[in-house]
């Protein structure tokens, strides 16, 4: 079984996730948001192959350069958000890409809307949703890169096709499940932004 470690950093309470294989000590880091020393401490004893980035907003990538320098992990983001990043990506994520650690595989899902290159990651019973899906609705689309109809389409066609039991681990705040959120899609559409 893989392990998921979660902790919150920075002034915007960004969630940082470490997914690891206890046997091989191989790991993936999702969103090197802030507080590089804290992230590096949490990574002690693990071999991180990739720093996976859910999207290009500054609060999700502030520690990326320092963590990359210390771990030699590959910094990865979707091509459409590459221009927003603090450093050039070592790898560009595409929809369906698989990242392996130990005996486990995590899959990327391109979910544009919050930004053009927003990406979620799914493994087993866990969905790392970045700022695409939160308890109570989609992420903010009141920014120049965002589109409310696009984020709704991403959630409807790419996330709400997952099983009810999948735990949604967002970029900020508490977890939820697909089953808790799916019934509210029409309310969100009616509410808009």
Q: What is the pLDDT of residue 142?
A: 87
d(CA 80, CA 92): 9
Residue 192 has pLDDT above 90, yes or no: no
Secondary structure (DSSP) of 40-76: HHHTTT-EEEEEE-S---GGGTTTHHHHHHHH-PEEE
Residue with tokens 């192959």: 49
Domain of 125: which CATH number?
A: 3.60.15.10
Percent of the chain with pLDDT over 70: 99
Region 12-19 average pLDDT: 98
Region 82-102 average pLDDT: 97
pLDDT tens-digit series, residues 43-86: 999 999 999 999 999 999 999 999 999 999 999 999 999 999 99
Residue 107 has pLDDT above 90, yes or no: yes
Which domain range does residue 8 map to?
Answer: 3-191
Reading the block at residue 172, the tokens are 């900020």
d(CA 97, CA 107): 6
Q: What pLDDT band is residue 93 in, cutting at 50, 70 and 90?
A: very high
Mean pLDDT estimate for the chain: 97
The torsion angles phi and psi of 28, rounded to 5 degrees, stand at -125, 145
3-state secondary structure of 160: coil
Buried b (16+ CB within 10 A) or exposed e, 115-153: bbbbbbbbbeebbbbbbbbbeebbbebeeebbbbebbbe
pLDDT tens-digit series, residues 75-88: 999 999 999 999 99
Residue 190 has pLDDT above 80, yes or no: yes
Task: Kindly list the distances between the CA atom of residue 39 and the CA atoms of 27, 29, 32, 146, 193, in Å, as whole numbers in the listed order.
Answer: 13, 9, 7, 29, 33
Residue 159 has pLDDT above 90, yes or no: yes
Q: What pLDDT band is residue 144 in, cutting at 50, 70 and 90?
A: confident
Q: In terms of Cα–Cα distance, which of 54, 52, 32 is closest to 105?
A: 52
Task: Kindly list the distances between the CA atom of residue 139 and the CA atoms of 1, 5, 102, 109, 132, in Å, as whole numbers in the listed order.
Answer: 30, 23, 32, 16, 5
Region 164-188 average pLDDT: 97
Please state the domain count of the chain.
1
């Amino acid at each position: 079984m893989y392990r998921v470690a979660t902790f919150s950093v920075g002034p915007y309470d960004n969630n940082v996730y470490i997914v690891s294989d206890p046997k091989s000590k191989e790991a993936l880091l999702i969103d090197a948001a802030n507080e590089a020393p804290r992230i590096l401490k949490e990574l002690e004893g693990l071999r991180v192959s990739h720093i996976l980035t859910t999207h290009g907003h500054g609060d999700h990538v502030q520690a990326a350069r320092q963590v990359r320098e210390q771990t030699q992990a590959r910094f990865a983001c979707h091509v459409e958000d590459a221009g927003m990043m603090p450093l050039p990506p070592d790898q560009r994520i595409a929809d369906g890409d698989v990242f392996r650690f130990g005996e486990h595989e995590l899959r990327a899902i391109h979910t544009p809307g919050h930004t053009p290159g927003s990406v979620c990651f799914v493994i087993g019973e866990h969905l790392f949703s970045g700022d695409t899906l939160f308890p109570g609705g989609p992420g903010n689309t009141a920014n120049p890169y965002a589109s409310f109809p696009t984020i709704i389409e991403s959630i409807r066609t790419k996330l709400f096709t997952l099983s009810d039991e999948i735990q949604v681990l967002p970029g900020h705040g508490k977890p939820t499940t697909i089953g808790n959120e799916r019934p509210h899609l029409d309310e969100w559409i009616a509410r808009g932004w």
